[in-house]
Amino acid sequence: MQSMQNSLRVDLLVVGFGKGGKAVAGAMARLGKQVVVVEQSDQMYGGTCPNVGCVPTKALVHEAGNRRTSDVPQEWYERAVGEVHQITSLFRQGNFDGMNSLETATVLTGHAEFTDERTVRVDTLDGPVTVTAENILINTGSTPVIPDIPGLRDSKYLVTSTELIHRTELPKRLAIVGGGYLGVEFAAIYRRFGSEVTLFESGSAIFDREDDDIAVVAEKILVDEGIEIVTGANVTEVRDGDTGVTITYTNDGREQVLSADVVLAAAGRRPATEGLGLAAAGVRTTSGGAVEVDEYLRTSCPHIFALGDVNGGPQFTYISLDDSRIVLDQLIGDGKRATTDRVAVPRTLFMTPPLANVGLNETEARAAGYRIKVASQPVAEIISMPRAYVVHETRGVMKFVIDLATDEILGATLLSVDAQELINLVALAMRSGVKASELRDAVYTHPSSSEAFNDVIGAVVRSDDF
């Protein structure tokens, strides 16, 4: 760690302490390169995932699922939030110490702004620090989008996901505006904690990226949990009262009103580029505010890279980690690795049970011109998967889309216990060229969730040969 100076010249400057940036910074510092990492907030060392994203939200999924009907909702929730905050504090401090303890690395806390293509001014509590670097990484992540609804932005009952998970008071009535990943996950979490939850989605359906047979099962799980789902909802006004908020919306041509204690804006996240002074560095952005990058994550200035959410790619921590591999290959490797090398990238929505996907679904495969067969089974009917019964979670369905001619796995959708783990196995099989029949006939431990593949892949329900 360098001593504090008013001006620093370094090999690498990382703006934003996210997953990808910290991985590159750590690797370069361990090679003896002079590195500075800048983080605007002392509550965000390590980035979104360990502080306000994956770690706390998935911990809340676990805690909510453990609540018994005899547990008082508020007491259980307050205890759970306290435990989750202990975990995030531990992770945050570990990220800071792990970086700042490296001999050639310095962590600066403060707002960073480019003054030219190689120089950034950092306004710290101890005064401004000017950092000039040979290479610069932009890793500032994303920020929540607040929909342009009259009264919403100024409502004292409005929260973002970050603010909601820091509240120790469980909302009795929670309204969620937005039915994407974030909205569905929070609806499931807070309903299980005991909140009355209404989910507003402006589109005609939630799970609109899924095949209809999957979407029906997934939505039924949420409805059976007691979540009210309003699709085709046009929220027209949010009005504060003394003890809560009134939400006016139209649905099927009728105006309706809902009262709630808290409104969660879950309309997605946008790249956090505001205030970075990118124009001064000659770094171009897209119309959506993301930093423009090529397949090697280089910006319009070749020595400046952008990693993670800020570059407009998929907003997943593991994508940011893979971004770090691409950038390191540019800095110290042979420079061949690119975003175009990524195939079979999985994703998971952490409802209960989780909904995980990789590759093409049935609709997409047919649209792409493939002749396919579809293997699918409800989890409750998979004889080779007793684990679902052991853990009392038999809801859901597993579905594989298989190339009829080659037996290649084109994609899979798993709505089941352990789906977040199983999908990684399927993705690895796809990347490695493992055929569907090989995955079907593999030997798995027992009782496990993966042995479900022995049955499911053989359960063909549709084939273009029929």
**400 and 414 in contact (C-beta within 8 Å)?**
no
CA–CA separation, 127 and 110 (whole Å): 9
Which residue of the set 62, 111, 392, 446 is catalytic? 446
392 carries an active-site annotation = no
Q: What is the C-alpha radius of gyration for the chain, rounded to an integer number of angstroms?
A: 24
Catalytic residues: 446
